[in-house]
Amino acid sequence: MARYKREEVKIQAWENHERRKAELEMKKIEMKAEQMKARAQEKLASKLATARRVAEEKRAVAEATLNEGAARTSEKADYIRRTGHLPSSFFSFRIPSLCG
């Protein structure tokens, strides 16, 4: 019976040791997973910030283009009002010839 008890204690000690090893390994894996998750979140946040910045730049360019067009149109309208004539650049498109 004493031999059985000694064997039982050894088995219990081995089991506890293996459990602690497994728990430590599990903690390591969890920490590594958390680090990977944090890196992935940072990467995505960076991508979102870049996309936001590029979108703002594109909006600024589009607004500048719109303002340029509006300014040109306003200048032509002022010219027409002042002179009563259409500027020569007003009809800058080609009229297809009817002959031919």
Domain definitions of the chain by residue range: 2-69
- Distance between first and last Cα of the chain: 119
**Mean pLDDT score, 68-83:** 90
Residue 99 is predicted with a pLDDT of 56
What are residue 68's phi and psi, to 5 degrees? Answer: -60, -45
Q: Say which range, 4-8, 41-45, 78-82, has the weakest mean pLDDT.
A: 78-82
Whole-model pTM: value is: 0.56
Kindly tell me the sign of the dihedral angle through the C-alpha atoms of 11, 16, 17, 18.
Answer: positive
- Summary mean pLDDT of the chain: 90
Query: Which of 8-12, 77-81, 90-94 reaches the highest mean pLDDT?
Result: 8-12
Task: List helix spans (H) across the chain.
Answer: 2-83
pLDDT of 93 reads: 57
Q: Give the pLDDT of residue 52.
A: 98
Nearest to 73 by CA among 90, 56, 58, 93: 90
Query: Across residues 2-7, what is the average pLDDT?
Result: 91
